[in-house]
Amino acid sequence: MLDKISPETANAQAAGDPRPMITGEMAREIYHQPFNDLLFQAQTVHRQHFDANAIQMSRLLSIKTGGCPEDCGYCSQSAHAPTGLKASKLMEVERVLAEARKAKEAGSTRYCMGAAWRSPKDRDMDMVLAMVQGVKAMGMETCMTLGMLSPEQALRLKEAGLDYYNHNVDTSERYYSEVITSRSFADRLETLDNVRSAGMKVCSGGILGMGETAEDRIDMLVTLANLPEPPESVPVNMLIPIPGTKLANAEPVHPVDFVRVIALARILMPTSHVRLSAGRTEMTDELQALCFLAGANSIFTGDTLLTADNPGESQDEKLFKRLGLKPEPLQMEIEAEHTGCDA
């Protein structure tokens, strides 16, 4: 259990660091407890920090699809994989804003724009910044995922009003090179550091079902929990196997193991939103319900993610009604309710 303090933690606390370091051993102990105990612990932690029936809703848009130079073994958009996906140019700003307006009308509070880039080119930055400014002006939270960022690019995005940057570590440091060879785990951490130093909120998580072990999944969460500040948002994706990719025939993750990872994320990062991300079209209502019970409190809405399918609004509405879930209001709306002011 988390209350067993390791020698490293004791040292950190003695040195004045109030946040205990999470060791692999502590995380494994939590992860492997009987399922009912794990779920009880996760739900207890969840209720200390969140409304247990409120789910944050984000909407994704691919602003630049396909033709990516990176070789991520799971991705439909890698130019290295014969997936048959047609590459497109960066979308016009006006089109992005029209799509964002529709998402806002459908109840999304965060708009997340993704590009199939290794990193943004300086010539693309003006359009990207205009997208951030336009979406922000609609009153939605903004998120982007554009690949690696330099410190300067991160600062420009922050100044334009970008709230969150998504950059997944995807798996453990140990397993990383089995999945991606065109960049390293350390590159990923460097961008996360640039995002944090620029003052943005961090969204970082990973994918389950790529042939990794339980140990890899646990270590991935330990890395995230031990960042100087944990990510505000932790997407947990179930691999969507894409024909033509290296991982098209990977062994699927067992649903119970998937829920265990969600619960561990909730316990190790008690104040972060844990997002039940890709792969929901293949999940039963019961599995999604268990994930919410284990502490997942965010989803992607709409019928497409970036290139792959997602359940869509009417199916999610039915699930929410059945489970008594409601959309989480924006943070500023929650604060306004507490102070009695209009947001």
Binding ligand DTB by CB under 6 A: which of 114, 134, 209, 230?
114
Instruction: Report the distance separating Cα 193 and Cα 78, nearest Å.
Output: 25
Site for ligand SF4 in 39-68 (CB under 6 A): 68
CA 19 vs CA 12, 14, 111, 230, 281: distances in Å: 8, 11, 31, 10, 37
- Does residue 239 touch ligand SAM according to CB under 6 A? yes
- Does residue 316 touch ligand SF4 according to CB under 6 A? no
Query: With contacts defined by CB under 6 A, how many residues of the chain interact with ligand SAM?
Result: 17
Instruction: Report the distance separating Cα 261 and Cα 159, nearest Å.
Output: 35
Q: Which is nearer to ligand DTB, 26 or 195 (CB)?
A: 195
Residue 307 site contact among ligand SAM, ligand SF4, ligand DTB, none (CB < 5 to 8 Å, cut-off depends on kind): ligand DTB
| Minimum separation from the CB atom of position 143 to ligand DTB (A) | 8
- Does residue 171 touch ligand SF4 according to CB under 6 A? no
Nearest alpha-carbon partner for 41 in 78, 2, 10: 2
- Does residue 204 touch ligand SF4 according to CB under 6 A? no
Written as six digits, the tokens of 131 are 């997208």
Neighbours of 199 (CB within 10 A): 11
Q: Which is nearer to ligand SAM, 56 or 310 (CB)?
A: 310
Cα Rg, the chain, nearest whole Å: 19
Site string for ligand DTB, 7-46 (x = CB under 6 A): ----------------------------------------
| Minimum separation from the CB atom of position 161 to ligand SAM (A) | 20
| Minimum separation from the CB atom of position 285 to ligand SAM (A) | 20
Q: Which residues contact 2 (CB under 8 A, 6 or more apart)?
A: 20, 22, 26, 30, 267
Which is it for the CA torsion 149, 125, 141, 314, positive or negative? negative
Amino acid at 152: E
Instruction: Report the distance separating Cα 295 and Cα 7, nearest Å.
Output: 29
Active centre residues (catalytic): 68, 72, 75, 112, 143, 203, 275
